[in-house]
Amino acid sequence: MGYPGSTITVSTSICASDATYAKGQSEAGGQINLVESGREGELEGNFTVPANAKEGTYAITVKCPPGVRVDTEFEVARRPSGAVSGGFGGADGLNSTEVAIGAALILTATAGGLLTMRRRHGSEPAA
């Protein structure tokens, strides 16, 4: 799956073991040149999904020697828009209750720290 503007990697190990190159065609991204990937017997290439690609399923065809053809497909999805909620607070901002709770926690921590510092300072023997 990819989004408009994203890069898709196509790989295959179907070609002959001595194949070093294959050509592919993506219905949504144009020509793909596949070359050795560094993994034995695998060819790999990339293409970019056009920024104006519509959501849907698109075909990919790869041809490699000696006359091997591989057909597959990939899906273009709409890129998520807006913020993603991550739990308490989320990405939509804080409401007044959450701000009050946060302020209370900060004030409590500060008061606790000051109290601890005073007790330590007051318990030191006089020199």
**What is the DSSP code string of 25-80?**
EETTTEEEEEEE-SSTT-EEEEEE--TTPPSEEEEEEEEETTTEEEEEEEEE-PPP
**CA-based nearest residue to 60, from 6, 87, 102, 23:** 23
* DSSP secondary structure letter of residue 94: -
Can you give the pLDDT at residue 66? 79
Rounded CA-CA distance 69/12 in Å is 11
The per-residue pLDDT for 102 is 75
Q: What is the pLDDT of residue 103?
A: 77
Kindly give the pairing relationship between strand 43-48 and strand 56-64. Answer: unpaired
Residues of the chain with pLDDT under 70: 82-94, 118-127
Please state the pTM of the whole predicted model.
0.57
Q: What is the pLDDT of residue 122?
A: 58
* Amino acid 127: pLDDT: 54
**Structure confidence at residue 96 (pLDDT):** 73
- pLDDT score for 13: 86
The domain limits of the chain are 7-76, 88-122
